[in-house]
A = this chain, B = another copy of it.
């Protein structure tokens, strides 16, 4: 048939993501993307019908990667499933370790999109909310298993405690970017781990 277009498509997605993290989506022009990727308008609009089609493909790809992070963290802690608290803490620890390796402030497309949500259609924004709800539900499952065996030291609302995982990520990303300090996220997650230990130990 013809040459393989996947590398081009992937390059567009990768470079656009990096641009969006510091320019926002509206602030990222197609010409900028062409500069960064070295491709041309013809190639771009062959792969994406409109700029907003790119926005949707970008968040889809991002959400898929995000969900696979979630899955692999679940798998890596599955050996601890008989000790739910240990598993929960190890689950958090995995992300602490991950965040400790960062060399520059991290970013999240969910936050970026949420702060200019008018630019996107409902389907695109639904991917954002669905992904966040996946994290909530996963954490809730882990927490409910803990609650069978451990009595919390304080009355807690399981759903909002589940949300705290994503909340700390998102908040730490913002502060990390604002202060240009890449160490913040790991440290903030450590506080969540402390909290869980104090609650259930």
Using a CB–CB cutoff of 8 Å, the interface residues on chain A facing chain B are 21-27, 107-108, 110-112, 114-119, 125, 128-129, 132-133, 153-154, 156-157, 160-161, 163-164, 166-172, 174-175, 177-180, 184, 187-188, 190-191, 194-195, 197-199
A118–B23 Cα distance when bound, in Å, is: 5
B23, B170, B191: which contacts A26 (Cβ < 8 A)?
B23
Is the beta-carbon distance between A118 and B153 smaller than 8 angstroms? no
Q: Which residues of B contact A157 (CB under 8 A)?
A: 187
Measured CB to CB, the closest approach of chain B to A109, in angstroms, equals: 10
B23, B188, B190, B198: which contacts A153 (Cβ < 8 A)?
B198
Measured CB to CB, the closest approach of chain B to A100, in angstroms, equals: 13
| Residue among A21, A114, A132, A191 with max Cβ neighbours from chain B (10 Å) | A114
Q: Which residues of B contact A174 (CB under 8 A)?
A: 108, 110-111, 114-115, 167, 170-171, 174
Measured CB to CB, the closest approach of chain B to A195, in angstroms, equals: 4
The chain B residue sitting closest to A190, CB to CB, is B160
B114, B164, B169: which contacts A178 (Cβ < 8 A)?
B114
Is the beta-carbon distance between B160 and A24 smaller than 8 angstroms? no
Q: Which residues of B contact A129 (CB under 8 A)?
A: 178-180
Is the beta-carbon distance between A115 and B167 smaller than 8 angstroms? no
Q: Which residues of B contact A125 (CB under 8 A)?
A: 178
Q: Which residues of B contact A171 (CB under 8 A)?
A: 166-172, 174
Is the beta-carbon distance between A191 and B24 smaller than 8 angstroms? no
A103–B130 Cα distance when bound, in Å, is: 22
Can you give 5 contacting A-B residue pairs, CB < 8 Å? A117-B177, A132-B178, A156-B191, A163-B188, A167-B168
A187–B22 Cα distance when bound, in Å, is: 30
B21, B27, B198: which contacts A195 (Cβ < 8 A)?
B198
Is the beta-carbon distance between A24 and B25 smaller than 8 angstroms? yes
